Each structure stands twice: as structure tokens, then as C-alpha cells.
Amino acid sequence: MGKWIARILIFTSVFGICLFITSYLDIKHGGKGHVSARSSSQKILSNEIDSSLKKIRLEAQTQKHKQISVYYVPHPDDELLTYGVPIRNDLHAGKIVYLVLFTHGETSSIIKKLNLMVYPKLTPYELGLARVKEFNHSSQDLGIDNNHKDIFDPQKEQARIELIRKIALFFEQTFPHVTQNGLSKYDVIPDHAITGMVLDQLYKEGKIKHKRIYASIYMSRFAEHRLTGKRIYPKKAKDNSVFNKAIHDYDRWDPQHRWYACGYMSVRPQFNSFHKHKYSVLVKE
Ligand SMILES: [Zn+2]
């Protein structure tokens, strides 16, 4: 019997020592031994969103009574070609317009063509910066306050989806009168479609109250299977020159000052079409 008690004692002490060593190692590594690269990068992204949203959080108290219109912009140029008209109309209606650009558009296929014309050649990152520069000028011309836009660049689609969701919920929980604007979930370009998908999901979950879904200029004017809906025209005739100025930002060629006409180089027919006929298409989704 004494032999069995001794065996049990040895077994439990060995087990106890192992447990002690394991927990010691875990504490020594700050308990981070099990954090994967994925959750680390999500943490960085979420800190980035938090600090960025602080800007508007500061204004939340003074602007609580105002109507907020948030636009999810997949690429530089969507704010003008697809959303330009409703953005101007919202501003005229006294709403605060907030833009969320969530890619730099650096994966654009124009880099090959562009690099035949400029020296030194552009890296994809530099192309992204040039496109964001066009976006910044265009949104300024449209009348967007510099504090009312944020630019993110999560690399993975899942991170983009989470970003849109998080920002939509932030606005919904911070302001009482919010409209969330996205693109159709039936868009053939995935970065466009996810905006509509996320807003649709949040709406079904009862987490957002008002959404407006637009057909991208490509889907309403160029695609084989076009999306149709209600055409939205500019409420003020003088906005024509505002749009033309913003269009010009995407057609500026001055490589010495890092202007590469990226917008025109990538979707010239869409710019020409918008230049001639300024309207957006609101779809029922
Ligand atoms: Zn786009």
C-alpha cells in the first residue's frame, strides 16, 4: 500500500512541476506565445481605426444633431465617378459627408504602361500614393472637409470587410442620424461588392438604420449586364464646374511633381462618360 502512495506522490509532484514550468514560460513571454500573426495584424488595424475615428469622435458632441452621410470608397475615383453627385447633393442639404477610402488602388494594372513613360520606375506603393494624391485633391474639390475622410489600406479582403463593418457600427453608435452609402453587392469588382454586402448584412441584423446603395459607373453604364435604378442628378447647376475640376485632378500629368494621370490612364471612358452626363444611379437593394 505504502508503495502505491509513494507512486501517486511522485506522479503528482512531476505533474505539478511541469505545470509550474509551463505557466512560468507563458508569463515570461508576456502570455503572447499563442498570438498568431493574423491576430497581431488585426490588432494593428483596429488601433489604426480607433485613432483615426477619434477625430470624428471629438466632434460627436457638437454635431450630434446633424445628419451624417458616410461613403465607403473602394478606390480613388469612386468618390467622383460613382458618388460625386450624391455627395454634392448631401453637402447642399447641410449634411456632414464622411469618406472612407479603403484601398490605395496600388494593384491597378496601369503600372506597366506608366513605367514605360516615367523614370525612375514607380513601385506599386508609389503608384498607390499617386492615386491617393488624386483622391485627396478630388475630394477637396468636391467640398469634403479634410477631417471628414479616412484612408486605410488593409491588404486582405477579410480585413477590408471587418474595417467597413467596424466603421459603420462606430457611426451608427455615435450619431443618431446616419446614412451609410455603398455600392451594389452585385458589382463584378469584389472591392465594390463588399461594401453593399456588409451594409446589407448590418441592415438585416438591425444594426444600421439607413443605407443607400449605388451602382458603380461601370455597372450602370458599361457592364454587359447593367444595374438599373433611379438616376440622381446634381441639385445645383453650378456644381458642373466643381465636378470638372475634380475630373481634372485625375488627368494631371506632371511626373516631376508626382502627378501621373492615374485615373484617366485606368478608366478614361468612364471619366469621359461622367464628364458628358453627370448623374449617379441609386439601386433598390
Ligand atoms: Zn472602384
Give the chain's domains with CATH numbers. 66-283 (3.40.50.10320)
Instruction: Please say whether the beta carbons of 188 and 224 come within 8 A.
Output: no
pLDDT at residue 65 in the model:
82
Q: Is 76 a residue whose pLDDT tops 80?
A: yes
pLDDT at residue 23 in the model:
38
DSSP one-letter code for 283: E
The pLDDT of 226-243, averaged and rounded, is: 98
pLDDT at residue 106 in the model:
86
- Distance from Cα 18 to the centre of ligand 1, integer Å: 56
- Distance from Cα 107 to the centre of ligand 1, integer Å: 12
Name the nearest CA neighbour of 96 among 146, 132, 133, 138: 146
pTM above 0.85, yes or no: no
Rounded CA gap, 72 and 195, in Å? 7
- Distance from Cα 91 to the centre of ligand 1, integer Å: 22
pLDDT at residue 36 in the model:
30
Beta-carbon neighbours within 5 Å of ion ligand 1 = 74-75, 78
pLDDT at residue 19 in the model:
41
The pLDDT of 3-7, averaged and rounded, is: 60
- Distance from Cα 24 to the centre of ligand 1, integer Å: 51
Alpha helices in 29-152 (DSSP H): 37-59, 78-81, 84-92, 110-115, 124-142
pLDDT at residue 147 in the model:
86
Instruction: Please say whether the beta carbons of 178 and 171 come within 8 A.
Output: yes
pLDDT at residue 24 in the model:
37
Q: Is 4 a residue whose pLDDT tops 80?
A: no
- Distance from Cα 78 to the centre of ligand 1, integer Å: 5
pLDDT at residue 174 in the model:
86
Q: Is 28 a residue whose pLDDT tops 50?
A: no
Rounded CA gap, 52 and 101, in Å? 12
Q: What distance separates the 2 farthest-apart alpha carbons in the chain?
A: 100
Q: Is 182 a residue whose pLDDT tops 90?
A: yes
Q: Is 68 a residue whose pLDDT tops 80?
A: yes
pLDDT top residue among 153 and 5 = 153
Rounded CA gap, 53 and 148, in Å? 10
Q: Is 101 a residue whose pLDDT tops 90?
A: yes
pLDDT at residue 283 in the model:
98
Q: Is 50 a residue whose pLDDT tops 50?
A: yes
- Distance from Cα 43 to the centre of ligand 1, integer Å: 27
Rounded CA gap, 90 and 93, in Å? 5
- Distance from Cα 23 to the centre of ligand 1, integer Å: 50
Q: Is 109 a residue whose pLDDT tops 50?
A: yes
- Distance from Cα 76 to the centre of ligand 1, integer Å: 7
- Distance from Cα 217 to the centre of ligand 1, integer Å: 9
Rounded CA gap, 145 and 139, in Å? 8
- Distance from Cα 75 to the centre of ligand 1, integer Å: 4
- Distance from Cα 60 to the centre of ligand 1, integer Å: 30
Question: Which of 23-37, 44-58, 250-264 has the largest mean confidence?
Answer: 250-264
Q: Is 39 a residue whose pLDDT tops 90?
A: no
The pLDDT of 191-195, averaged and rounded, is: 98
The pLDDT of 183-211, averaged and rounded, is: 98
pLDDT at residue 66 in the model:
87
- Distance from Cα 281 to the centre of ligand 1, integer Å: 15
- Distance from Cα 262 to the centre of ligand 1, integer Å: 13
